[in-house]
Amino acid sequence: MMKIGSAFTPALVMSMLALGLAGCSKKPAEPVATETASGLPNVSSPETATMPASEPAAVPTAIPRALQGRWGLVDADCTSTMGDAKGLVTIDADTLKFYESVAKLGTIRSGSPTALDGEFAFTGEGQSWKLDVSLSSPDDGKTLIRKDTGPDAMPGTLTYTKCP
C-alpha cells in the first residue's frame, strides 16, 4: 500500500479520476456500413440503422375533393343568370373551367387533402398555354386561394368564395 505522504499519491489519484471519468463519458456510435439494393454502401449510425424509413407523402392523382365545386371572386359570380360571371371557376377532378377558358390538369407536383400544386394546360379564345397553378383551401372549403406561376401568369393571388 502507498502512504498518503508519498510523491506518487497525487499522480495516482489523478490517474484514477481520469479513468473514472472516461468510463462515464459516452463514446459516439461508430457508423455501420450496410449494402443497399443497388450494391452501394449505406453508412448509418446504429441509432438510425434501426429506425424505419419514413413513407414519402402520397401525391394525389386528381384535384382534391375539398377544392372541387363552384367558386366566385365576388358574390354575383355565384348567382348570375345572365352568363356574365367572369370571376366564376368551376373545378372538377381534372379541370378548371373559367368564363372564357378551360384548364386541364397535367403533372401534379404536390398536394394534400386541401391543396394542389400542378401544371395545367389552358385553352381559350383560340389560344393555348401552360401555367403552374397552386390551389388551396385554408379554411375547410370556405375559400379557395389560387396562385399562377409561369411566363403568362398574372401577378398575385386570387381568393374565391365557395358558391352555395
Q: Which range of residues forms the domain containing residue 145?
A: 65-162
Cα-Cα-Cα-Cα torsion 20, 26, 27, 30, nearest 10 degrees, comes to: 150
How many domains does one find in the chain?
A: 1
- Please state, in angstroms and rounded to a whole number, the distance separating the CA atoms of residues 44 and 145: 42
Instruction: Give yes or no for residue 38 having a pLDDT over 50.
Output: no
Q: Mean pLDDT lowest for which of 14-18, 40-44, 67-71, 85-89? A: 14-18
Specify if 16 maps to a domain. Answer: no
Q: Is the pLDDT confidence value at 9 over 50? A: no
Kindly state whether residue 2 falls inside one of the protein's structural domains: no
Residue 143 lies in a domain: yes
Helix (H, G, I), strand (E, B) or coil at 114: coil
The answer to whether position 1 is within a domain reads no
Backbone φ and ψ for 30, nearest 5 degrees, come out as: -75, 140
Give CA–CA dist 57/68, Å, rounded: 21
Give domain status of residue 54, yes or no: no
Q: What's the whole-model pTM score?
A: 0.63
For residue 101, being part of any structural domain is answered with: yes
Say what the pLDDT of residue 56 is.
57
Q: Across residues 89-103, what is the average pLDDT?
A: 96
d(CA 123, CA 97): 10
Structural domain includes residue 119: yes
Mean pLDDT, the chain, whole residue set? 77
In a domain, 135, yes or no: yes
